[in-house]
Structure 1
């Protein structure tokens, strides 16, 4: 078990590492020495369902992090919560995407530096994408493509990639910018940028994580996890907040935390995954459609692939509530608190109260 397996526990090699360690799920859950893996598995699911990420907020040893993944898959399978599996898979994929996108960027920088140092011909032709081997604990583009059986489907061409149309259609997210009619298509391949290739790989990760979920969990595993599952269910239930709004969306009534996140987006700041999820989930829950959200954020929704992806997952889907005030505080996104903040437990509760105040003023 190494750091790469812990960072990407859905890899075939990571699964094999767990199998070679001879750790059964029943033994893992029952053994006191592995309680950290169970606790991390619980946290993994909670953070996925509450904040849209599984990134830990502290350093965790590779063994615990890797073993927490199969535990998390069991926990999410036992949860009786609409959309839990889909949201969990999306969060695992989003976290992996943050990691491999950064690794791909470093790989690209290293390749460009090597090319400059060697005086290589910048006009080299197309070839299979990426290098041959991982660097350190990281993964190259080619290694990820091989992992998902895409190495023959993707060709590198300068700073772009050409993806076989069948694989492109299978993995492309929804959205106008991904429609085949607006893409460059030649010789059965679609041209994509490095960032778009990362989006396609994110989709591949999400499909793999979701594959087989929910699991059929035997009593020997389910029974010892019952208190853990109940704790997760209680945690994600959150406060009693409004689920829908009859009034037209009014940004002036948004809570201070949401207004602050909006301002950061308008200034083209790249939000961390949890903040991006919090903002997208709130705006979707407040009843805004993607076009209105894009206008409110001062950008084309398709101009920011990660934000657009979050919106696509959240708009119109009531099973993805935004985080509570407690969670926003824990993540450092609870800012500019006012008097109303002290009396509520959820950003949507704040929004509903402000809408009621405005309605009362209009009636006077």
Structure 2
């Protein structure tokens, strides 16, 4: 499409190639840029982007960008991607991608129709269509949890999926999210990550603080029966399936246990191998790009990992919900 976005429009959609080209014309060397005054401002703005993603802040219209030229505001987007790549936590990567997709969607909602069509076209979607080919639709919706997105619940005619008003906007947002998450983590030189160490440590500390606020101190006695069963299996020397290892590791990681603590759980096994365990734990915890979110109760049942169900299991649909419930019950009793 033959449309030229001005610099103020480009900062709304920093993932566009036109936006990135603008930033590259003003940032030739990342190392030199980080030592400059604009680079320091852009890094501070990048930290704000990651923290906003982490804290679910969604006040997009109130972003503090007045001190940055458009090209440096776009550079802050690139630096935010570098920060989460240096940290290497999959959940943080997912949150940043979701934040940036929601940010773009916020601006698109009130955008000039021509610009809106251009942004959608740039990511491979027609913003004016009320129907999507089945193949395109299936590619877009696998991570959308609402049952209405399942193909069996859609009106399909002549190879096309009919969309209700507003649904194309949701699919555009999801397409942006998927594109961004698929691009991460970036391969960042170790020297750059070392230079950004102070900022990444600040972000990680905030992330850990949030986990503590959400789940509190780790209480093994509040673990759901399925997780306790997996721990028991480890202790008895049973060989866990990949899904079993993934379930227990992702659960423990989510409730705030560090890799050393998780490895200590696996150390209860008679045939414990430290090097192999640390590799698997770090990989499942997100460093290898594996999905971070622990499996739901339905998934646990599917893989035969739902064990020793009790009355509290009937009240929840996720092991994390069980953990919160039991901790709240114990807190009230104490």
1:188-267 alignment runs, 5 A limit = 188-238=159-209, 240=212, 241-242=216-217, 246=222
Match of 1:30 in 2: 35
Matched pairs, number: 228
- For residue 97 of structure 1, report the CA deviation from its aligned partner: 1.9
Give the TM-score normalised by structure 1. Answer: 0.55
Match of 1:112 in 2: none
| 1:100 and 2:108 are equivalent in the alignment | yes
CA 235–58 in structure 1, closer or farther in 2 if over 3 Å, else same: same
Q: Deviations over 1:142-163 (max 9, x none)?
A: 2122111223xx653xxxx111
Higher helix share: 2
Q: Which of 11, 14, 20 in structure 2 is aligned with 1:9?
A: 14
| 1:164 and 2:133 are equivalent in the alignment | yes
Deviates further, 179-188 or 56-65 = 56-65
The answer to whether the 8 A contact 2:60-2:106 is kept is no
**Secondary structure, in 3 states, of the residue corresponding to 2:38?**
helix
- Equivalents in 1 of 2:59, 2:139: separation in Å? 25
Q: Deviations over 1:293-345 (max 9, x none)?
A: xxxxxxxxxxxxxxxxxxxx97868xxxxxxxxxxxxxxxxxxxxxxxxxxxx
The answer to whether the 8 A contact 2:84-2:93 is kept is yes
- Equivalents in 2 of 1:82, 1:145: separation in Å? 26
Give the TM-score normalised by structure 2. Answer: 0.59
Match of 2:239 in 1: none
Match of 2:125 in 1: 150
- Equivalents in 2 of 1:176, 1:73: separation in Å? 31
- Equivalents in 2 of 1:53, 1:216: separation in Å? 28
CA 351–242 in structure 1, closer or farther in 2 if over 3 Å, else same: farther
> 5+ residue gaps in structure 2?
1-5, 225-253, 256-291, 297-323
RMSD between superposed Cα atoms in Å: 3.3
CA 194–144 in structure 1, closer or farther in 2 if over 3 Å, else same: farther
CA 145–58 in structure 1, closer or farther in 2 if over 3 Å, else same: closer
- Equivalents in 1 of 2:61, 2:110: separation in Å? 17
